[in-house]
A and B are shown apart, each in its own frame.
Chain A
Amino acid sequence: MSLLSVKDLQTHFIFHDIDNQLREARALNNVNLSLDAGQILGIVGETGAGKSLTAQSICGLLRPPARIVGGSVVFDGRELLTLPEEELNNIRGADIAMVVQNPRSSLDPLTRIGEQLVRIHQTHTSGPLDGSRQKAMEMMQAVGIPDPQRRFTAWPHELSGGMAQRVLIAMALMNEPKLLIADEPTTGLDVTVQAQILDLLKELVARFDMASMIITHDLGIVAHYCDQVAVMFAGEIVEQGTLRDVFLQPAHPYTQQLLASTPERIKLGAETPLGGQPPDLFNLPVGCLSQDRCPLATDICRTSPPMVNLSIDHSARCHFANPNNKTAKSKGKKNG
């Protein structure tokens, strides 16, 4: 059984607008995921595709008006969605840890680094303080913070962005999590520092036999650090599979277009591979959600496409995906 198994997860934003009309934005629509120990899953998609919301839904970090309206999240054999808050608190920060974008704003500016590391350990253990301090030093060492003795008493503002991100990773590792979720872990960092942080993440996943989920919009990160990929569009996973299947034999037209718009592959002068806006979450089209910007769309796309299994671990949500002809050829037609 998988360590994490997400089934038909649906998260909606439900609220009354300024005219007191009840409105509902369908932000996540039937998200299905599974993840095993030792694996790194990359979740890619554009702004508003629901990447971060998926992570927050899994961890139960949603605040109104966001609400999970259906589905299940089974982690390590337990259903998280129905778990009482106190039990969820025992899992979050311990078995499931999260590293977020913008590390500086995730650290308490008024507490020394070491203290913050010790605190998260003490929350989940009844062991002695000395043990936690020892552990904090070890973890700072593990994430490559030079001179942990001295850094232990440093304030967050004394750290550079890369160091602050290392502290957050050390914090996430304090309770030896089984699942590490990294939400855009390197977005604010420079490329040379990004390389250091991603190398570190990959090494730690192997060393502690964790599972990891990296949320990013950078296809380069996925191409070189992930084993599995899930491509999201309008709150749906439109394609998932192994890195090589999805990146080298993309089956969904959206995946094909996304890959074709990376700076390395885009051909200036040719037609723009991807156009148009993502659909309005308040008013999703009936049928395939990407029909309005898909070059292959026909009448059949007004009915909901099935998740087609292309091979044992590669699937795509498209009427034209075909196991015998894995790459549904996009004609590259211009679309609005």
Chain B
Amino acid sequence: MADVILQAKNLVKRFPAGRSGSFVNAVNGVDLTIRRGEVLGMVGESGSGKSTIGRTILRLTNPTEGQISFDGKDITKLADKAVRPLRKDMQMVFQDPWSALNPRMKIGDLIAEPLRIHLNMSRSECRDRTEMLARRVGLSTNFLNRTPSALSGGQLQRVCIARAIATNPKLIVLDEPTSSLDLSVRAGILELLQELRAKTEAGFLFISHDLGTIKLISDRIAVLYLGRIVEEVPKYKLFSEPSHPYSQSLLSAHLPSDPNVPLQRMALQGEIPSPINPPSGCSFHTRCPVAVAECKRIQPLPEKISADHLARCLRLKDGKNIIPRDQK
């Protein structure tokens, strides 16, 4: 398993909610593997725990339970101070580039910051590498002396990506990196990520709520619902044969920009339940069109559909997991 860069086992994250002693169950037992040179896409609605997982595997927040190993090393219980040198190898790109960058710093200094902190580079080495990084992410070197206010959202996101790749990390978590950007700019950023991915050995976790974007960039896709991975599957299979009823309805709610593609009307009723008080049994049973009585009691375990395809659904075994087409 030399090519596994990150492995998380039974990851649980609870946040205390209010004074009543209740908890927000953000992540409820997630197993995750990211390999070198691979993009794992993670898709789910807001509140499904996508970002919390991204932050937890990088130890930006500490897991409540579970185990995280990074590059073969257990980092679950590592002291914050001991995690710090590892940051060189694990980086993150956030959704909102405007708030991710210090507005008073120059772009050149922002890109050089990880180089100074982690690689102890000399001033001139730093300058050369900063210019190289700027060119690599498609940013004019003229911007290096400007502050973030002079750049557009797409350009700022390129700065964030340059910072993330500056130290040649082994793992990059991208948390909705294109959601705040316009279509045309988004296309450019995805293009850049694709290029980086071909050139680096890093593993990527790409978090997004947009199926179109996830489809474009990922190798494997994990579908998240209320803090659990309900289906994990190679990209092409998710779009051709989604197994979990939630994946099916998520796909049917996706609106392709081609008016000739017919919509499959499987829109769900209601909204994602509160993670403070999640439903019993299968957490999707409250909205699931094919749920039966036992879904309310029994929490389904991940079931292998094929070697690389997992889903958590009780109805899989009698083949009743497919939502009938005529149902709205």
Contacts and interface: CB of A to CB of B under 8 A. Distances in A.
- B partners with A: yes
Interface of A: 46-47, 160-163, 190-196, 199, 217-224, 243-244, 247-248, 257-259, 261-266, 268-269, 272-275, 277
Contact of B257 (A161, A194, A199, A219): A219
Interface of B: 45-46, 152, 182-184, 186-188, 190-191, 194, 209-213, 215-217, 249-250, 252-261, 263, 267-269, 271-272
The 9 closest A-B pairs by CB, nearest first: A220-B255, A263-B212, A274-B184, A219-B257, A190-B45, A261-B187, A195-B267, A195-B253, A46-B182
A224 B255 contact: yes
Nearest to A254: B184
Nearest to A160: B271
B260 to A, nearest CB: 7
Given A46-B183, A46-B184, A243 B249 contact: no
Contacts of B211: 191
B88 to A, nearest CB: 28
A223 B184 contact: no
Residue from the set A191, A221, A224, A269 with the largest chain B CB neighbour count within 10 Å: A191
A190 B255 contact: no
Contacts of B260: 248
A217 B179 CA distance: 12
Contacts of B258: 223, 247, 264-265
Given A192-B249, A272-B187, 18 more contacts: A190-B46, A192-B267, A192-B268, A196-B268, A220-B257, A223-B261, A244-B259, A247-B257, A247-B258, A248-B260, A261-B186, A263-B215, A264-B256, A268-B190, A272-B191, A273-B187, A274-B184, A274-B187
B39 to A, nearest CB: 12
Contacts of A163: 271
A247 B259 contact: yes
Contacts of A257: 184
Nearest to A199: B267
Given A190-B209, A192-B249, A268 B194 contact: yes
A220 B254 contact: yes
Given A192-B45, A194-B253, A224 B263 contact: yes
A272 B189 CA distance: 10
Nearest to B46: A190
Residue from the set A162, A192, A265 with the largest chain B CB neighbour count within 10 Å: A192
Contact of A191 (B191, B209, B256, B261): B209
Residue from the set B183, B255, B256 with the largest chain A CB neighbour count within 10 Å: B183
Given A192-B267, A268-B190, A263 B213 contact: yes
A67 B216 CA distance: 42
A242 B255 CA distance: 18
Contacts of A248: 259-260
B257 A190 contact: no
Given A192-B249, A192-B268, A268-B216, A258 B183 contact: yes
A276 B277 CA distance: 47
A104 to B, nearest CB: 13
A196 B267 contact: yes
B119 to A, nearest CB: 30
